[in-house]
Structure 1
Amino acid sequence: MVRAAERAKHPATSSIWLDSEKAGRRRKPDQPDGLDRDKIVETSIRMLDAEGLAKFSMRKLAAELNVTAMSVYWYVDTKDDILELALDAAFREVELPDPDRAVSWRDDLRALAESYRSMLVRHTWAAAILNTYLNIGPNALQVARAIQDIAIATGLPPAGQAGAITAVFQFVYGFSTTMGNFQRRCDESGVTQDEYYAQAMAAFQKDPELMDTMERSKPIIEARGGSTVAEMWTRDFAFGLDVLITGIEAMVARAEESSA
């Protein structure tokens, strides 16, 4: 069993899910009514969404719950425990393919990637800590299994499945992180995404050093389509995902030719 002290010494290979005592800890009779791990996690997610990762603390969490810090520490040992629990709870929002029907890998991959993107954009803090933890909670594992099923259904040989799915979900991660950073910048500036984009484009056009780049980009911008930033995000993401799916299809065809 991995205790909190050991997790602190070895953060890269530690997880609350590897501590059987902590993973199953529930409310003691003398704890405040209505306080349990689910409420702590729910409140943490709400605070992280509202204020971001940098401002989140155990002290603020206890105050938001209207309990003492020691009451929170009955359920978790560290802030890392809470963040790991919150991250796994966020994975619950990713919509998975229906397990009772045959896998349609192209449609399932598009749907899962889109749902994953939406979750990361809703919870920008999740993208920031995604690679900090082992992500072996129950919800993260369900998503991982769905991804494995899709990888197998592509028809790629086992040697290529991991690389193909990594390419897709690294694209989703990077795209979602960019979206989240842009939204956060707009929020901090007190403008909408469309207003920020319009201001940036106007500023670029006034700078002589940027005019050449702007002119070269003009056909791409015009062909990109979309009257709002949200529409541009949607179209760019869909096209990028189609490029990756087409690449997987090409690699499947190459593998079939090699084995023929």
Structure 2
Amino acid sequence: MVSAANRARNPARSSVWLEDKAARPASSRKAEQPEGLDRDRIVATAVRLLDAEGLPKLSMRRIATELNVTAMSLYWYVDTKDDILELAVDAVFGELPLTDPDDGQDWRVHLRRLAADYREVLVRHPWVSTILNTYLNIGPHSIAFAEAVQKIIRTTGLPVSVRTGATAAVFQFAYGFGTMEGNFSRRCAASGLTVDEYYEEAMEAFTENPRTSEQIDELKDVIGAHAGRTVAQVWDADFAFALDLMIAGIEAMVTRYATES
């Protein structure tokens, strides 16, 4: 097993994908190990619990209870809860429907689609953004996502020196947007209200409060522009427009570098 102390001393080398932690084959299963239990099932259960109950409530004991096995049974497949979380993040990245950037479609189509899919994954699994940068994220699905992003950015025509900046602009934006949207949705669900019900109650409270009513009055034109639309529709429209702005920026920079060369 890898101790917590060793992980702390060597964070750049601490990963379930770098250490010798290949899933043990079923043929080596000890007699006392439960039938049907494997790493994939453990990770799938962890993802389901994280979605339903959140990160603070996840424990080895909680996963074992859900699987109807002993907590010690899990340690045949993973060393720590960190292993499970790292594996769970990669499993979530496996939900991204990656397409081939070389299929003849314009890079703008691919970039919009992948950024939107990334946002949706973060909204669907709000806990992911909380721990995403805790791990190296070098699992097979995470690497496939990173490679797809780089292939798309490469076809934009941007010089190599600025491609990471373009990647950051698009996907850190999608990360932030998806994180905020996911957290808000979770807050609404915890209150027992839909997103639209929560928004309406919040707006009513802000309007009635003397300390915030003036700020609401200053935003009447913005609020009016969204009248008749659901919160989800507003989010979708804002995300699409912001993405268009970044794509336009990439196009402008491609032209600028082409002119300067």
Residue matched to 1:4 = 2
Does the aligned pair in 2 maintain the 1:91–1:143 contact within 8 Å?
Answer: yes
Of 199, 202, 205, which aligns to 2:201?
199
Of 129, 132, 146, which aligns to 1:130?
132
Does the aligned pair in 1 maintain the 2:101–2:110 contact within 8 Å?
Answer: no
Detail structure 1 runs of 4+ shifted over 3 Å in the superposition.
Answer: none
CA, structure 1 residues 229+131, in 2 after alignment: closer, same or farther (shift >3 Å)?
A: same
Counterpart amino acid of 1:4? V
Show CA shifts across 1:135-177 (max 9, x none). 0000000000000001101111011100011111111111111
Alignment of 1:66-145 (within 5 A): 66-98=68-100, 101-102=103-104, 104-145=106-147
Does the aligned pair in 1 maintain the 2:101–2:151 contact within 8 Å?
Answer: no
How far off is 1:241 after superposition? 0.8
Q: Give 3-state SS (helix, strand or coil) of 1:131's partner.
A: helix
CA, structure 1 residues 242+194, in 2 after alignment: closer, same or farther (shift >3 Å)?
A: same
Quote the Cα distance in structure 1 between the aligned partners of 2:228 and 2:89.
33
Of 206, 212, 230, which aligns to 1:210?
212
How far off is 1:225 after superposition? 5.4
How far off is 1:49 after superposition? 0.6
How far off is 1:114 after superposition? 0.7
Deviates more, 1:150-159 or 1:29-38: 29-38
Quote the Cα distance in structure 1 between the aligned partners of 2:143 and 2:228.
36
Residue matched to 1:161 = 163
Quote the Cα distance in structure 2 between the aligned partners of 1:226 and 1:140.
39
Show CA shifts across 1:14-53 (max 9, x none). 1100013x13433314221100011001111111111000
Structure 2 unaligned spans of 5+: none
Of 175, 183, 188, which aligns to 1:181?
183
Quote the Cα distance in structure 2 between the aligned partners of 1:138 and 1:174.
23
TM-score, scaled to structure 2: 0.93
CA, structure 1 residues 226+151, in 2 after alignment: closer, same or farther (shift >3 Å)?
A: farther
TM-score, scaled to structure 1: 0.94
Counterpart amino acid of 1:17? W
**Identity rate of aligned residues, in percent?**
57
Residue matched to 2:39 = 37
How far off is 1:222 after superposition? 2.2
Quote the Cα distance in structure 2 between the aligned partners of 1:235 and 1:226.
13
Does the aligned pair in 2 maintain the 1:43–1:61 contact within 8 Å?
Answer: yes
Quote the Cα distance in structure 1 between the aligned partners of 2:191 and 2:34.
40
Does the aligned pair in 2 maintain the 1:164–1:248 contact within 8 Å?
Answer: yes
Quote the Cα distance in structure 2 between the aligned partners of 1:226 and 1:36.
49
Q: Aligned residue pairs: how many?
A: 256
Does the aligned pair in 2 maintain the 1:17–1:137 contact within 8 Å?
Answer: yes
Q: Give 3-state SS (helix, strand or coil) of 1:42's partner.
A: helix
Quote the Cα distance in structure 2 between the aligned partners of 1:160 and 1:237.
23
Residue matched to 1:19 = 19
Does the aligned pair in 2 maintain the 1:205–1:211 contact within 8 Å?
Answer: yes
Counterpart amino acid of 2:112? R
CA, structure 1 residues 167+10, in 2 after alignment: closer, same or farther (shift >3 Å)?
A: same
